């Protein structure tokens, strides 16, 4: 299973064919309900909890880990500007994330979901080059990070189409953003480096943690959005939209006929 799928379980939740889709989703939400967003909030969290234990029928195995192949940051310009690349990033704690808010426009098939996670831990290998704190900081080592108060927002929009008499959604757009309230991070086991340099780097990193995260965010957001879009598009093709959203007016009219 791809790592970004764990982070995006709340969207993956509608793909469980071995059980009733409406049963796993917690029942259909009516377009006519003035509190439809509250219904969707309950339903998405119901599905999120279901998928946290894995859904092998759709290739989702139980996991509490996100794996990101590579991220890079750049501080300063010129030949001595500091550059760092983080590879094989493993983040744990995502299973503790919950959906705290849902906003929808069912007429235009738009959804915005807010998620919150109390704590996420990360480890990675990194390599750097250039000058940092007036010291040449080229080499590699191990990176660690502790992130408290993680908040994420995911927006997606779909377009309805009909297949075999059922209504499905085709993903048209997906955007995401995130923030972290408190960050502690550092490096260790540096190659060919002194304890003095390691201490200096860790002081700089923790003093400027939010700014360093800001440098990472554009690349991270692009990577996650691209992967999530491909994944969600496959999901939406597997389950009818009318299995989790109902139109009571249309159903009543059909019954009267």
Q: What is the pLDDT of residue 68?
A: 81
pLDDT band at 24 (very low <50, low <70, confident <90, very high): low
How many secondary structure helices (H) and strands (E) does the chain include? 7, 10
Q: Which of 1, 11, 9, 6 is nearest to 233 (CA)?
A: 11
Residue pLDDT, tens place only, 168-193: 989 999 999 999 999 998 888 888 66
Residue 255 has pLDDT above 50, yes or no: no
Residue 217 has pLDDT above 90, yes or no: no
Q: What is the pLDDT of residue 25?
A: 61
Q: Which of 74, 70, 12 is nearest to 222 (CA)?
A: 70
Least confident of 26-30, 90-94, 113-117, 179-183: 26-30
Residue 17 has pLDDT above 80, yes or no: no
Q: State mean pLDDT over 84-95.
A: 87
What is the largest distance, in Å, between two alpha-carbon atoms of the chain? 81
Q: What is the pLDDT of residue 13?
A: 42
Q: Is the dihedral angle over the CA atoms 5, 236, 175, 109 positive or is it negative?
A: negative
Q: What is the pLDDT of residue 20?
A: 52
Helix axes 209-236, 195-207, angle to 10 degrees: 70
DSSP annotation of 17 reads T
Residue pLDDT, tens place only, 123-168: 999 888 877 666 666 778 899 999 999 999 999 999 999 999 999 9
Q: State mean pLDDT over 206-212.
A: 86
pTM of the predicted model as reported, rounded to 2 decimal places? 0.76
Phi, psi of 225 (to 5 degrees): -65, -40
Mean pLDDT of the chain: 79
Token pair for 65: 């880990």
Helix (H, G, I), strand (E, B) or coil at 153: strand
Residue 38 has pLDDT above 90, yes or no: yes
Cα 45 from chain centre: 15
Q: Which of 207, 87, 183, 182 is nearest to 143 (CA)?
A: 87
Q: State mean pLDDT over 7-18.
A: 44
């Amino acid at each position: 299973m791809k790592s970004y799928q764990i982070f995006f379980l709340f969207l993956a939740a509608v793909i469980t064919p071995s059980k009733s889709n409406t049963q796993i989703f917690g029942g259909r939400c009516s377009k006519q309900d003035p509190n439809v967003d509250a219904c969707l909030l309950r339903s998405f969290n119901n599905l999120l909890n279901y998928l946290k234990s894995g859904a092998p029928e759709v290739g989702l195995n139980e996991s509490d880990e996100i794996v990101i192949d590579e991220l890079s940051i750049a501080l300063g310009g010129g030949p001595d500007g500091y550059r760092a690349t983080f590879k094989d990033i493993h983040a744990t704690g995502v299973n503790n994330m919950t959906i705290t808010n849902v906003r929808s426009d069912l007429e235009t098939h738009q959804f915005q979901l807010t998620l919150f996670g109390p704590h996420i831990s990360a480890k990675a290998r990194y390599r750097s080059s250039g000058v940092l704190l007036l010291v040449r900081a080229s080499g590699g080592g191990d990176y660690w990070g502790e992130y408290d108060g993680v908040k994420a927002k995911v927006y997606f929009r779909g377009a309805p189409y009909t297949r075999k008499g059922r209504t499905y959604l085709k993903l048209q757009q997906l955007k995401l953003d995130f923030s972290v309230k408190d960050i502690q991070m550092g490096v260790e086991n540096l190659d060919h480096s002194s304890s003095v340099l390691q201490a200096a780097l860790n002081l700089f990193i923790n003093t400027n943690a939010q700014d360093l995260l800001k440098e990472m965010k554009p690349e991270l957001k692009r990577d996650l959005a691209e992967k999530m879009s491909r994944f969600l598009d496959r999901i939406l093709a597997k389950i009818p939209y009318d299995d989790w959203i109902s139109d009571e007016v249309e159903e009543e009219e059909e019954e009267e006929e």
